[in-house]
Amino acid sequence: MIKATSKLYRELMLNVCTLTLMLVAVTLSRAAYSCEKSLRVSISGNWPPYSQRVNGQYEGLEVEVVELVLKEAGFCWQYVELPSSSRAFKQFQENKVDLIPAASFTQSRRKYAEFSLPYRQEVMLLFAHQDNTDTVMQESSITSTALLRHLKNNLIAINRGSVYGQGFEGFRKVCEDCVVETNFAHERFNLIKHKRVEYAVEDILTGAHLTQETSYKGVIRATAIKIYDNPIHYMLRPGMLSEPQLRQLNLAIIKNRQRIEEIVQRYKQRYGAD
């Protein structure tokens, strides 16, 4: 009888311990996934190496950074994949997207959006075909005014909806027919490859990634010309975050500046864009 009681006691304690562990696991799981706010984040499935969809998952530099910052700020997120920057801005203004990463600050955008602190630098280079022998494109010291005057009557492919600074906007007004808008970087590089445009404006890392691909390697090269070098921000729907929550987001950026820079440098080294 004593043995039976002892055995029953041990089984009871084992069940209690098992239940306790299960409760702890559930509690930790809930804690891991609890968040103060959930944001719908605009994402591209075709913007390597910043964001791309691989086997149903998003990966890339921008994905790593946004997840780092939002976790630190205590927010959850849901990705909304959109085909272009212009589509993202349209969805944003229709309240279907809460946050757009990698956004340049402009006064016109400030009328309908809030911005975080800047979290990394965006550099846009001019890319050309290897057969393009224009020596001016290797003179990094050329003034923007002289450069844009030199580019007049050349065709330049750009990303639809992106910002390239006042200098380029001035050039565009003078030579509107010189600018060809596309949605994806590979579309712009294909135009250069087939010599349908003379140049394309592309992010330094995206361009470095593409020039390593078989389709463009030895065909397209980066010039020495920087079209745009500017800090970028998270663009937020007005009122989406309270003042304390916006401070949390900005503090998360400040706290992780070193880690963000390490992520950027890792990608630059990977694609030889130092």
Tell me the pLDDT tens digit for each residue of 161-186.
888 988 898 889 889 999 999 988 99
Confidence of residue 148 (pLDDT cuts 50, 70, 90): confident
Q: Would the pLDDT of 23 be above 80?
A: no
| Cα separation, 115 vs 103, whole angstroms | 9
Q: What is the pLDDT of residue 144?
A: 77
Percent of the chain scoring above 70 in pLDDT: 88
Confidence of residue 143 (pLDDT cuts 50, 70, 90): confident
Domain with CATH 3.40.190.10 in the chain: 35-121+231-271, 123-229
| Cα separation, 195 vs 216, whole angstroms | 13
Q: Find the range with the poorest average confidence among 13-17, 206-210, 231-235.
A: 13-17
Q: What is the pLDDT of residue 270?
A: 94
Alpha helical stretches, state H, the chain: 2-33, 61-73, 85-93, 107-110, 144-151, 165-174, 185-193, 204-210, 243-255, 257-271
Please determine, looking at this structure, whether the domain spanning 35-121+231-271 carries the CATH number 1.10.510.10. no
Between residues 40 and 14, the one the model is more confident about:
40
Task: Record the tokens describing residue 63, joined without a space.
Answer: 């994905």
The answer to whether the CB of 232 falls within 8 A of the CB of 99 is no
Percent of the chain scoring above 90 in pLDDT: 69
- The 10s digit of each residue's pLDDT in 84-128 is 888 899 999 999 999 999 999 999 999 999 999 999 999 999 999
User: Which class for 198: exposed (0-12), middle (13-18), buried (19 or more C-beta within 10 A)?
Assistant: buried
Looking at domain 123-229, its CATH superfamily turns out to be: Periplasmic binding protein-like II (3.40.190.10)
156 SS3 class: strand
Confidence of residue 7 (pLDDT cuts 50, 70, 90): low
Q: Would the pLDDT of 32 be above 80?
A: no
pTM: 0.82
Task: Record the tokens describing residue 56, joined without a space.
Answer: 């149903």
Closest by CA to 178, choosing from 159, 158, 164, is 158
